[in-house]
Amino acid sequence: MIKPVGSETLNPLFVYDTDAHHKLMHEAESLPSVIISSQAAGNAVMMGAGYFNPLKGFMNLADAAGAAEKLTLTDGSFFPVPVLCLLDNIDAISGASRIALRDPNMEGNPVLAVMDVEAIEEVSDEQMAQMTQQVYRTDDSNHPGVNTFNNQGRFAISGPIQVLHFSYFQDDFPDTFRTAVEIRNEITEHGWKKVVAFQTRNPMHLAHEELCHMAMDRLECDGLVIHMLLGKLKKGDIPAPVRDASIRKMVELYFPPNSAMITGYGFDMLYAGPREAVLHAYFRQNMGATYFIVGRDHAGVGDYYGAFDAQSVFEEMVPKGALDIEIFMADHTAYSKKLNKVVMMREAPDHSKEDFVLLSGTKVREMLGKGIAPPKEFSRPEVAQILMDYYQSLDS
């Protein structure tokens, strides 16, 4: 199986030993504590689950700046985005060398992790602006990722962590949430040798389904990991339980047995386009995938990124040898009326736009809300029914 990034074996930061876990939970109750942001909580979950291997904890400002500027930390190791724990108030932990980080997303704010504090640094507006521009390629506060990143606070608290909980993800999505450790184990149990991963924050329509089949066929893969984001999204995106149900129905009906795993990870979407595509590849390697599909406007939002910026970034910014996972670069896929099948649009040069079945997201949502199923060339009827039920429930 493919090695994790930066180490021979995966080193998740979750404390699995029962006695050590119990001891740490008891200690945490007497430590100074702080409720962290949702983005920082997602970072902690990803470190606990092994996706951010080999990170040992939250970055200091120098490492965060290096990741933002050139995808390289001060020790020369590779990481594509800053992994910060930003606070707006440090009164409760001032002077403390060991603290408890509390979950903002669960009732009672349970302890998520214990941290050994190495530094508390104030981030200047200039430093924040520079990191924002480098990661998101914009400073527009209307960009949902920019807005979230800049509204967590200006104190960066750094140091190694020991993770004690996977937030609400394990409780709310017991059949879907998987750590990188668990996915590697499941790949081994399936007996898969070549595995392609597909990232989604949306339900999968026919074009997505066929793209996965194309990738599996062309790369001669014996397994597909559909890996959905379970954390916070922007307003208007479809909730994770609805996405989960629709994807499960699609796999049940349209994929051969033992060919696809449906999994999810606990992280809030950044909407950082090209930079987030690299991050997505990073933690797909850590979970054991050999290939990763990157399509048109991957992880983008609005008109902030070019259609294929998330593909060219791998050539333009990722240091040679930093990642072993290979990228399957896909074009927009759509149903061809001429060929009576889903194709990559670049592979049909004799087609005009009118030769494809193309529907905007707005149009699809409008149809589903009215109880009108999109055409079978766009969406499987069983998937459309789940989505229609959801949209109609919003109006009831």
CA–CA separation, 47 and 51 (whole Å): 6
Catalytic hit among 98, 202, 248, 365: 202
**Secondary structure (3-state) at 201:** coil
Distances in Å between the Cα of 305 and the Cα atoms of 273, 340, 367 are 7, 31, 28
DSSP helix/strand/coil, 220: coil
- Dump strand ranges (E) for the chain: 33-35, 57-58, 86-87, 98-102, 111-116, 119-122, 155-163, 195-200, 223-229, 260-265, 291-294, 326-329, 333-336, 341-344, 356-357
Q: Give dist(CA 315, CA 112) in Å, integer.
A: 37
User: Do residues 265 and 182 make contact, with C-beta atoms less than 8 angstroms apart?
Assistant: no
Given 98, 154, 201, 248, the catalytic residue: 201
Please tell me whether the peptide bond between 12 and the residue prior to it is cis, using omega within 30 degrees of 0. Answer: no
Q: Is 202 a catalytic residue?
A: yes
Give the whole-angstrom CA distance, residue 50 versus residue 100. 20
Active site residues: 201-202
